[in-house]
Amino acid sequence: MAEQKVVICQDLKAELQAFLAGLDYDKLFVLTDTHTVEQCYPLVKDIPLLQDVPVITVEAGDTHKNLESLSSIWMRLSNEGATRHSVLLNLGGGMVTDMGGFAGATFKRGIRTINVPTTLMASVDAAVGGKTGINFNGLKNEIGSFYPPLCVFIDCEFLRTLDRANILSGYAEMIKHALISSMDVYLPVMLYDIDTMNYSYLNQLVAQSVAVKEDIVAKDPKEKGIRKALNFGHTIGHAYESLSFQQNKPLLHGHAVAAGLVSELYLSHKVCDFPKEKLSQVICYLKTYYPAFFFTCKDYDRLYELMTHDKKNEGGIINFTLLGQIGDVRINQHVGKDLILEAMDFYRESFGI
């Protein structure tokens, strides 16, 4: 997999203009959603090389990260004369960078893409690392490919357009990166005051978080080994997220991850002796900021069934990434159904459900 470039921007307009000026392409397209075309595109549309380029807009929200929306992107690219020498710039959150990346990977067997994430989630997770895809058959990211963008331009100024729920969604991934990294990364993330939002300092924490992911992806670009560390919190988290969509009460991805972290930290404690005091510390933080995800014991079998579709599974066995300590990652951990259900109990008890 080709190496991607990540730029933590000081001057997005100048840096993006310079990058585009250095590329050889015939046509440039911009992909947005119905939120970012109004709130974020105006911040970059006066860049000289973005003048008069076709803007493709899809409906916002993860429920629209589907085959229908993907087909509409392909259709616009085809009708507007895109070729294998064209470039697609994905301006938006994780839904846009995931789906735009997959559109780029598949149109004409691959056109080049650039990601300009506009949410915290996309900046620290979705836009970086080369995973692309769409949801399918009620399952998260069921169809996709590894297809890194040419470059990712990260600018926390976009985050001023976000509401608190979306800031928290991305911050859950930063907490995950901190947990799988080291105490040096963990402490500033856990001490950051989300209520006051120092965007300049957040930019530093984002750079630190992205560096954690970049280092892991460089070692294992196609998730054969250590890249599975990035799935901490996601095996159960994705099940929570999928169930929330089935309930017609969709969780933001990071909120589902936060819930998944609670359950998988419990599994880490039970299976890998993750320290109880650290478990309590993280849960206290998550309870302070994140709303509870409501489900009952009647949902357990469905949640377990959803986990059986996880792409990390091997031989029909649910495969977890767990922790022995902050930064002590244990991949390929097999956990029995009874203990998984116990971890769901633990989440509900922790959040008073």
pLDDT tens digits, 157-172: 888 888 999 999 999 9
Place of tokens 């959150």: 93
pLDDT for residue 200? 84
Among residues 109, 106, 98, 105, the alpha carbon closest in space to that of 65 is found at 98
Regarding predicted confidence, which is higher, 238 or 315? Answer: 238
Residue ranges in 80-161 assigned as alpha helix (H): 94-106, 120-121
Q: For 112-130, what is the mean pLDDT?
A: 91
Same fold, 5-161 and 164-196+221-350: no
CATH number assigned to the domain covering 5-161: 3.40.50.1970
> How far is residue 101's CA from residue 113's CA, in Å, rounded to a whole number?
7
Quote the crossing angle between the two packed helices 234-246 and 300-307, to the nearest 10°. 120
pLDDT for residue 85? 97
CA dihedral 181, 187, 189, 195 (to 10 degrees): 170
Paired tokens of 275: 């320290």
Domain ranges (residues) in the chain: 5-161, 164-196+221-350
Paired tokens of 163: 């509401």
Q: For 283-292, what is the mean pLDDT?
A: 94
> Which pTM was predicted?
0.86
Q: For 93-121, what is the mean pLDDT?
A: 95
What size, in residues, is the chain?
A: 353
For the chain, report the end-to-end CA distance as a whole number of angstroms: 44
Q: What is the number of other CB atoms lying within 10 angstroms of the CB of residue 3?
A: 10
pLDDT for residue 3? 60
pLDDT beyond 80 at 1: no
pLDDT for residue 173? 96
CATH number assigned to the domain covering 164-196+221-350: 1.20.1090.10
